[in-house]
Structure 1
Amino acid sequence: MNNDYLVDIQDERLSFFTPAGEVKALGGVSMYVREGEVLGIVGESGSGKSVTAYSLMGLTAHPGKLVGGDLYFNGHHINGMNEREMRKMRGNEVSIIFQDPMTSLNPVYTIGRQIREVILLHTDKNRQQANDRARELLRLVGINEPDKRLKQYPHELSGGMRQRVMIAIALACEPKLLIADEPTTALDVTIQAQILELMMDLKKQLNMSIILITHDLGVVAGMCDRIAVMYAGKVVESGTTDEIFYNPSHEYTKGLLQSVPNLNDRDHKRLVPIEGLPVDMLNPPAGCPFAPRCRSCMKICLERMPEYTQLEGAHYSACWLLDKAKFESQGKAQS
Structure 2
Amino acid sequence: MSEYLVDIQNERLSFFTPAGEVKSLNDVSLKVAEGEVLGIVGESGSGKSVTAYSLMGLTAYPGKLIGGDLYFNGHHINEMKEREMRKMRGNEVSIIFQDPMTSLNPVFTIGNQIMEAILLHTDKDRKQAHDRAKELLQLVGINEPEKRLKQYPHELSGGMRQRVMIAMALACEPKLLIADEPTTALDVTIQAQILELMTDLKKKLGMAIILITHDLGVVAGMCDRIAVMYAGKVVETGTTDDIFYHPSHEYTKGLLLSVPNLNDTEHKKLVPIEGQPIDMLNPPAGCPFAPRCNSCMKICLRKMPEYTDLGNGHQSACWLLDKAKFESEVQTNGK
* Fold shared, TM-score > 0.5 on shorter chain: yes
2:229 counterpart residue number: 230
1:110 counterpart residue number: 109
Task: State TM-score, norm by structure 1.
Answer: 0.99
CA distance in 2, matches of 1:220, 1:61: 27
SS where residue 204 of structure 1 aligns? Answer: helix
Q: What root-mean-square deviation, in Å, do the aligned CA atoms of Structure 1 and Structure 2 show?
A: 0.6
Q: 1:305 and 2:292 equivalent?
A: no
- The 5 A counterparts of 1:283-322 are 283-322=282-321
SS where residue 221 of structure 2 aligns? Answer: helix
SS where residue 310 of structure 2 aligns? Answer: strand
Q: CA deviation at 1:264?
A: 2.7
1:26 counterpart residue number: 25
Amino acid at match of 1:2: S
Q: Is the contact between residue 92 and residue 174 of structure 2 (CA under 8 Å) also seen in structure 1? A: yes
CA distance in 2, matches of 1:265, 1:74: 43
Q: 1:168 and 2:161 equivalent?
A: no
Q: CA deviation at 1:262?
A: 1.4
Amino acid at match of 1:49: K
Q: Is the contact between residue 25 and residue 232 of structure 2 (CA under 8 Å) also seen in structure 1? A: yes
Q: 1:193 and 2:178 equivalent?
A: no
SS where residue 120 of structure 2 aligns? Answer: helix
2:262 counterpart residue number: 263
SS where residue 312 of structure 1 aligns? Answer: coil
1:35 counterpart residue number: 34
Q: CA deviation at 1:313?
A: 1.5
- The 5 A counterparts of 1:12-161 are 12-161=11-160
CA distance in 1, matches of 2:198, 2:220: 15
For residues 69-115 of structure 1, give each alpha carbon's deviation from its aligned partner in whole angstroms, at most 9, with x where no partner exists.
00000000000000000000001100000000000000111100000
CA distance in 2, matches of 1:321, 1:192: 37
Q: CA deviation at 1:312?
A: 1.3
1:208 counterpart residue number: 207
Amino acid at match of 1:41: I
Identity of aligned residues (%): 85
For residues 108-129 of structure 1, give each alpha carbon's deviation from its aligned partner in whole angstroms, at most 9, with x where no partner exists.
1110000011111111111111
Q: 1:178 and 2:180 equivalent?
A: no
Q: CA deviation at 1:295?
A: 0.2
Amino acid at match of 1:247: H
Task: State TM-score, norm by structure 2.
Answer: 0.99
Amino acid at match of 2:2: N
Task: Give aligned pairs, total.
Answer: 334
Stretches of structure 2 lacking an aligned partner (at least 5 in a row): none
